[in-house]
């Protein structure tokens, strides 16, 4: 019996074949309290529930579950209920505490009073996940089970009404449930000052070669030892990149994807050339999103975008060990996610220069 119970708990973890590498699965291990419907009144019991979850849409997860419970004794024998099922979880909110509803079907087996019965069930429930670390959350939920008692014992109803209350931990693979870990401090690039209005035309002048600043970093070409610096990066007196965290707004992506735009590739070409001249530079590439959609989708998308930037730079000559790509999803906003303008600010890639260039 115990072997059968263990096999049912492992069932959700064996369903990883449903993941195709584009999803972000997660697992939960929860302690359970069961209120079971039996003749003479409800009986309480305790057990474990294990879950395997896989995002299937922007607000939907598919969850497989296995559970086992030991009921309080009414006779010298030990009474067990164990089973498995599948649910659709609907995310209602996100943030540091995410709420959800779920519903599904399954089947359970009980051996109460040494009479083994198999019965299908439906279940509905609600709960929340409170994020406590980058990958970990506390999950709490309550479920109601109408059990279709097709092999009922004498005196039992044809439909039983069980309730299960679960509390435990949820861990996410590949994406992040929570982001209370330290993340780079965001430094947004301020908008360029408007050009002054010229009311009187002035004669065109040709600047001297010593007065030309081709890359616009504030250092004339005659003194610039690190040319082609991307706009928005701070440099030292000789035009080389210094330690900083900056958002390069030109590095953006096609909507809802990790495909770099042509403008983004042009900026990254300049960054690759700068890093080729400054061999000591190492950079963290941090991907961020707005809060639209479920957290798991946003975390996966931000990681894929950070990876896309890293892969592009590596393909253009930057050593992979000098780059670290990290996706932070929606958990480090720099603007209000309740407005379109704020969400646009939050959809960004940050570049954190981790050390000074070699002298």
Look at residue 21 in the predicted model and tell me its pLDDT: 33
Q: Which domains does the chain have, with CATH numbers?
A: 2-172 (2.40.160.20), 209-353 (3.30.1330.60)
**Residue 356, pLDDT above cutoff 60:** no
* Average pLDDT estimate for 99-126: 86
| CA-based nearest residue to 309, from 277, 271, 354 | 271
* Average pLDDT estimate for 148-157: 66
Count of CA atoms in the C-beta half-sphere (13 A) of 239: 21
CA distance 330 to 302: 8
Look at residue 5 in the predicted model and tell me its pLDDT: 38
CA distance 180 to 279: 33
Predicted confidence (pLDDT) per residue in 306-338, tens digit: 999 999 999 999 999 999 999 998 888 988 988
Tokens 């992040």 — which residue?
A: 176
The two structure tokens encoding residue 119: 């019965």
Q: Are 347 and 315 in contact, with CB atoms under 8 Å apart?
A: no
Predicted confidence (pLDDT) per residue in 6-45, tens digit: 333 333 333 332 233 334 789 999 999 998 876 555 678 8
**Secondary structure string (H, E, C) spanning 266-300:** HHHHHHHHHHHHCCCCCEEEEEECCCCCCHHHHHH
Look at residue 187 in the predicted model and tell me its pLDDT: 42
Look at residue 25 in the predicted model and tell me its pLDDT: 87
| CA-based nearest residue to 165, from 44, 12, 5 | 44
């Amino acid at each position: 019996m115990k072997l059968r119970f263990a096999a049912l708990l492992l069932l959700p973890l064996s369903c990883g074949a449903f993941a195709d590498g584009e999803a972000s699965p997660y697992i939960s291990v929860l302690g359970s309290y069961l209120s079971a419907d039996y003749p003479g009144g409800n009986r309480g019991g305790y057990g474990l529930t294990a879950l395997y979850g896989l995002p299937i849409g922007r607000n939907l997860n598919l969850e497989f579950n296995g559970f086992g419970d030991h009921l309080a004794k009414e006779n010298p024998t030990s009474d067990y209920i164990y089973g498995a099922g599948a649910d659709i979880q609907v995310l209602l909110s996100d943030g540091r505490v995410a709420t959800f509803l779920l519903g599904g079907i399954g089947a359970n087996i009980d051996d109460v009073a040494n009479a083994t019965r198999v019965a299908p069930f439906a279940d509905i429930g609600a709960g929340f996940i409170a994020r406590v670390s980058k990958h970990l959350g506390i999950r709490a939920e309550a479920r109601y089970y109408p059990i279709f008692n097709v092999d009922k014992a004498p005196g039992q109803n044809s439909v039983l009404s069980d309730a299960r209350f679960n509390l435990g931990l949820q861990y996410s693979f590949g994406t992040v449930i929570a982001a209370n870990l330290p993340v780079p401090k965001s430094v947004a690039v301020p908008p360029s000052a408007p050009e002054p209005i010229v009311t009187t035309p002035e004669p065109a002048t040709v600047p001297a070669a010593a007065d030309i600043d081709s890359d616009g970093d504030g250092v004339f070409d005659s003194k610039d030892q690190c040319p082609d610096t991307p706009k928005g990066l701070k440099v030292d007196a000789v035009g080389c990149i210094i330690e900083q965290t900056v958002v390069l707004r030109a590095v953006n992506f096609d909507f809802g994807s990790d495909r770099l735009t042509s403008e983004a590739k042009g900026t990254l070409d300049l960054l690759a050339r700068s890093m080729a001249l400054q061999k000591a530079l190492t950079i963290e590439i941090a991907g961020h999103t707005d809060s639209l959609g479920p957290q798991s989708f946003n975390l996966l998308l931000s990681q894929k975008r950070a990876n896309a930037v890293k892969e592009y730079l590596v393909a253009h000559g930057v050593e992979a060990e000098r780059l670290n790509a990290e996706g932070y999803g929606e958990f480090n906003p720099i603007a209000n996610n309740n407005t379109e303008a704020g969400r646009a600010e939050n959809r960004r890639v940050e570049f954190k220069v981790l050390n000074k260039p070699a002298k």
